[in-house]
Amino acid sequence: MPAEGLSVTERWDMGRYFEISIVFIESGDRVFPSITTSSGSLLDKLADALGVSSALDFIRKIIGGVTAVINVVEGVIKFGKAIVGMVVGVIADFQVLVGSITHDVRSITSLASLMTGDFGRYANGNVSSVLITSKKAKNSSATMADLIANNTANRAAVDAAMDALVDASTNLDASSGQVFTDAVQGVMGALVASIADPGSAISLLGPLASYTPATFGGPGAIGAARQVAQAATSALLRRAALAAIGQVVATYVPTSYDEAMTTMGVVTGFIDAELLVAGDNGDDESYSALVALRQAVVKALTTTGATLPRLETFSFRTPMNALSMANRLYRDSTRADELIQQADPIHPAFMPTTVKALAK
């Protein structure tokens, strides 16, 4: 009952008579206040935090820093060319992996996921789905030629960023640690921009997130220092790749609950492996950043997956066209494109008799 919704009037002209008036408001659904955080912006922030933390851990080990008792500690860069040569070697191996990504056919075939209209109707990938709108910008006027030209420019940007990283590793000294770590971030940013489909990006960046060079063993203090340089450099590269994957997850659109959970298992597997490395090496800043990133990835994919149905297997006695099958399963013939994308038939007029599709 609202304020002043009750009124009482005494009618003396009608004897001992009172008029009581009550105003009621019909209640609707019970709605409670809630606070939500944009998973996209949160993942971006945590990915940036991981980049900063991994850079600090690298500089602490390679360049040096100050301990808690204010004693100046030199990093392994004091051994000069021996350490720089090890860093350059790790970057050279890493460059091979980056090159394989830029030349992977998926970086080109996934471009169709950014198109609208009939041309890209079967190539949504993980940019959008029938139940979730696109999280990446699509240009309705873009043609395949435009997207290929843009992809070519993005690949050139990756090559330029990789060249800058090689130069930074060659010129690494006690004063250029920040330049080197910034160059690593530049390569990862260029790679993410060069892959249109977030699903393809996660699978392509996976080898970078698990990159471990062949262990080097050498005698004496220089050999030990080279081992430190190798481990610190490879850890920096892996964590930069994990930060890039975290940013990709922010735009990732799963097609089903099953796919969301599978992707979550893959990404958290990469993070868990690096958590063990960071913990064993005493990289406290990176460890905390990895834990926060893992929690955000789990929350983002769990929240998105909870809104999606599971995949089920449907069997039919005879082949039928995609429109009829969509109408039979969902009472919605507009979902025929979704079934075609999942079943990948020889022709949409003759769908397989057994199809794995969304339960609803």
Residue 164 in this model has a pLDDT that exceeds 90: yes
> At 33, is the secondary structure helix, strand, or coil?
coil
Tell me the C-alpha distance between 150 and 177, whole Å. Answer: 32
Select from 213, 233, 254 the last residue of a domain.
254
More confidently predicted of 222 and 216:
222
Angle at the Cα of 136 from the Cα atoms of 134 and 138, rounded to 5 degrees: 85
If asked whether residues 317 and 194 sit together in one domain, one would say: no
Q: Using one digit for the tens of pLDDT, what is the confidence trace for 72-90?
A: 456 788 778 888 888 999 9
Instruction: Tell me: pLDDT of 163 over 90.
Output: yes
Higher pLDDT, residue 101 or 33: 101
Provide the pairing of β-strand 311-315 with 72-74: unpaired
The answer to whether residue 55 sits within a structural domain is: yes
Tokens 């066209």 label which residue?
321
Q: Where are the beta strands (DSSP E) in the chain?
A: 6-11, 17-22, 64-66, 72-74, 311-315, 354-358
Q: At residue 22, what are phi and psi to the nearest 5 degrees?
A: -125, 130
DSSP 71: -
pLDDT class of 160 with cuts at 50, 70, 90: very high
Question: Does position 356 have pLDDT exceeding 90, yes or no?
Answer: no
Task: Indicate the residue type of 171.
Answer: N
**Predicted local distance difference test score (pLDDT) of residue 109:** 66
Among 254, 280, 296, the domain boundary falls at 254
Q: Is the pLDDT of residue 94 over 70?
A: yes
State the amino acid at position 123 in one-letter form: A
**In a shared domain, residues 154 and 223:** yes
In a domain, 149, yes or no: yes
**Three-class SS of residue 345?**
coil
Helix/strand/coil for 259: helix
Residue 107 CA to residue 96 CA, distance in Å, equals: 16
Question: What predicted TM-score, i.e. pTM, was given to this entire model?
Answer: 0.76
How many structural domains does the chain have?
2
The reply to whether 155 and 72 lie within a common domain is yes
Residues 65 and 173 in one domain: yes
Q: In terms of DSSP H, where are the helices of 210-335?
A: 220-249, 257-281, 284-306, 322-330
Answer yes or no: is pLDDT of 19 > 70: yes
Which domain does 315 fall in, by range?
311-358
**Placement of tokens 């609208």 in the chain:** 116
Task: Name the band, by pLDDT with cuts 50, 70 and 90, for residue 271.
Answer: very high
Q: Are 47 and 196 members of one domain?
A: yes
Q: Does 211 lie in the same domain as 132?
A: yes
Asked, for residue 141, whether it belongs to a domain, the answer is yes
Q: Which helix (H) or strand (E) holds 206?
A: helix 198-209
The first and second tokens of residue 161, run together, are: 């960023």
Q: Say whether both 66 and 173 belong to one domain.
A: yes
pLDDT at 66: 45
